[in-house]
Amino acid sequence: MSEALAAVLLLGGSFFMLVASIGLIRLPDVYCRMHAATKATTFGMGGILLGASLIFQNAAVTTQALLAIFFLFLTAPVAAHLISRAAYKRGPDLCAETTHDEYGKYLEGQKAEEESPERYGDA
Amino acid sequence: MPLATLAFTIATIWIFLHGSATPGHFFVGLVMAFFIIRFLKKSYYQDRTFFRIGSYFRYLRSFTWELLIANVQVLKIVLSPRLSIRPGIIPYKTVCKTPLGVTMLANSITLTPGTLSIDVSDDDETIFVHTLDIDHPDEVAEGIRKGLEEPIVGAVE
């Protein structure tokens, strides 16, 4: 029973990893690709690790798997956040299909504020 | 969580990692906890309230559910023969006040339905969210508010 469940988890996890890789190729720009990279890998990796801990049924392995999942979920979004932020500030543009870009407006507003002399009252 | 409790938690995790629960291993765990805490004390966010376990679990449950939906949505988008996406960046006004709350919310947004937090404004009030498929910006914001922000406010604010 637990072996069947472990098999399902391992296969499901690998399937999500595959979907993440396909998404990485198919999606049009950096930001969309980050969606595929963060979500499917955390989920896929989580499934694989849980499956592994089910097979071994050993306190040490289970703890290691749970800690790995915990830190994966802690670090993946931070990496995605930094990569997409850095990409926006100095790299490739948003893809042509993009409909809203409020962040660009915010950055422009910030820039204008820094450059405007009125901010300091004189000059 | 107070530092002493943290030390005991680390020692307990060490015992589980090791797989044998003897007093000696617990002691080794405590010694390691001492050094870990010594080195990382500055960046440790000390919470004055103790665990609000019920709210943490509610957040965890809500988050897991959102995570499941997220992955199915990304799956559908990636595997559909015609790639029909309308991405965009929308601002999200948060009610979280503490650094921990904003961090948790931004990270949770990245891990759930078609959304990715790109940046937080300087005043920590607005999170810029990249969305894979925008039909209605308001619906996206409503989803974040219901599914993630409310449980987080309950757990850590």
Give the tens place of pLDDT for each residue, A2-24.
Answer: 889 999 999 999 998 898 888 88
Residues B61 and B96 sit within 8 Å (Cβ to Cβ): no
Does A123 have pLDDT greater than 50? Answer: no
- Residue A20's identity, in one-letter code, is A
- Residue B132's identity, in one-letter code, is L
Q: What is residue A117's DSSP assignment?
A: G
What mean pLDDT comes out for the span A33-37? 82
Instruction: Kindly list the domain boundaries of chain B, sorted by start residue.
Output: 3-40, 53-156
Mutation site, B86, B89, B133, B136, interface A, largest A CB count within 10 A: B89
Q: How confident is the model at residue A121 (pLDDT cuts 50, 70, 90)?
A: very low
Residues A80 and B110 sit within 8 Å (Cβ to Cβ): yes
What pLDDT is attached to residue B55? 80
Rounded to 5 degrees, what angle do the CA atoms A58, A60, A62 make?
A: 65
SS3 category, B24: helix
SS3 category, B36: helix
What mean pLDDT comes out for the span B35-39? 86
What mean pLDDT comes out for the span A84-113? 73
Stated as kind and residue range, the H or E segment containing B5 is helix B3-18
Alpha helices in chain A (DSSP H): 2-26, 30-56, 59-90, 102-115
Does A106 have pLDDT greater than 90? Answer: no
**Sheet bearing B115-120, strands edge to edge:** B88-93, B126-131, B115-120
Chain B residues close to A80, C-beta within 8 Å? 110, 116
What mean pLDDT comes out for the span A30-38? 82
Q: Do B85 and A28 touch (CB under 8 A)?
A: yes
Instruction: Kindly list the domain boundaries of chain A, sorted by start residue.
Output: 2-117
CB proximity list for B39: less than 8 A, separation 6 or greater: none
CB proximity list for B140: less than 8 A, separation 6 or greater: B90, B115, B129, B131, B134
Q: Do B116 and A60 touch (CB under 8 A)?
A: no
Chain A residues close to B107, C-beta within 8 Å? 74, 77-78, 81
The C-alpha atoms of residue B15 and residue A60 are separated, in whole angstroms, by 8
CB proximity list for B113: less than 8 A, separation 6 or greater: B66, B69, B70, B73, B143
Stated as kind and residue range, the H or E segment containing B128 is strand B126-131
What mean pLDDT comes out for the span B86-109? 82
Residue in B with minimal Cα distance to A106: B121
This complex has an ipTM of 0.75
Mutation site, B116, B139, B140, interface A, largest A CB count within 10 A: B116
Residues B157 and B111 sit within 8 Å (Cβ to Cβ): no
| Distance separating the N- and C-terminal Cα atoms of chain B | 14
What pLDDT is attached to residue A116? 62
Of B117, B134, B141, B92, which Cα lies nearest the Cα of A80? B117
Q: Do B117 and A74 touch (CB under 8 A)?
A: no
